[in-house]
Amino acid sequence: MAGEASARHIKILLQTTIVTTPNDWSIARFGRLTQLLRNEKHRDGRPVFDVVARDRSAAGSPDPVLSRLDASDFDELWLFAVDTGNGLTEEDCRAITRFREGGRGLMIARDHMDLGSSVCGLGGVGSAQHFHTQNLDPDKSRRTIDDRFSPQISWPNYHSGANGDYQAIKVQEPVHPVLADRRSPTGAIRYLPAHPHEGSVSAPAGESARVIATGVSKASGREFNIAVAFESSKRAGRAIAQSSFHHFADYNWDTRFGCPTFVDEPAGSSMRTEPQALQDTHRYALNVARWLAHAL
């Protein structure tokens, strides 16, 4: 199956849960990820990925693409849940769920508190995402503030570092394919972009899923989950639940690309000064894209 997938274009939809809003986390702020995927080539020079990047067409009504996603020819959906709780309609959620139930890939990334909580309406993968008021973390000890530098943001808000800095991640054994890197001295990627207040993810009971990477809060020293991988089964395709969409945002790869004006935390720069951090981030994104399509 991997050979079949690698011999064709893998069609990816990069999608946010908000309408185009310049002063927000619209899809334009994930432009470097979009270009990274579009630039990946087979040995014969053919593009590996066919990438469509878009925002919602309107708020409050079914999106014309998402609400019919199961009838599309996309191989995988990368959903950046950047809404405040109303980013997906019931029709959108049902179609995305059917999309994955049909065997196709899904990556969901959200952020702190209730940011992106509309993903709770998604079957399977939605249950891996824990928010402040929806699908709370089953571990009650984790329902507490971690990052105390931004008082307007409550839990979950794990402080892995400043935007623009990298964090050292802990790869859970056995090393999952999306984290593998044969050029690394450890055989796996070691760094991902940091963020002052990451969200909460876990592996839901009853699902073929496991935590594959964790981070450590620079505020509390507490370990938290960064990514959960769902293996394909008779019920659904592969999926990744990510603790923060900031792992993929232009600003977190290089702060010189700018951010919405409501982001007021001091920025870092080690993603620029440590080349391996960006290389690991690129490798992770490319690995996820291939793995979701059974090409890795």
CATH number where 65 lies: 3.40.50.880
Domain count, the chain: 1
Q: Average pLDDT of 167-192? A: 97
Buried b (16+ CB within 10 A) or exposed e, 84-101: ebebbbeebbbbbbbbbe
Output the pLDDT for position 235: 82
Quote the DSSP letter at residue 65: T
Quote the DSSP letter at residue 218: T
pLDDT tens for each residue of 3-23? 444 467 899 999 999 999 999
pLDDT tens for each residue of 77-103? 999 999 999 999 999 999 999 999 999
Task: Give the integer Cα–Cα distance in Å for 111 and 263.
Answer: 13
Is residue 227 within a helix (H) or strand (E), and if so which, with residue range? strand 223-230
One-letter amino acid at 178 equals V
209: alpha, beta or left? (left if phi > 0; alpha if psi -120 to 50)? beta
- Kindly give the pairing relationship between strand 166-168 and strand 10-19: unpaired
Q: Give the structural domain span for 118.
A: 2-292
137: alpha, beta or left? (left if phi > 0; alpha if psi -120 to 50)? beta
Output the pLDDT for position 7: 61
Output the pLDDT for position 73: 97
Output the pLDDT for position 5: 45
Task: Give the integer Cα–Cα distance in Å for 54 and 57.
Answer: 9
Q: Is the pLDDT of residue 29 over 70?
A: yes
pTM of the full structure = 0.96
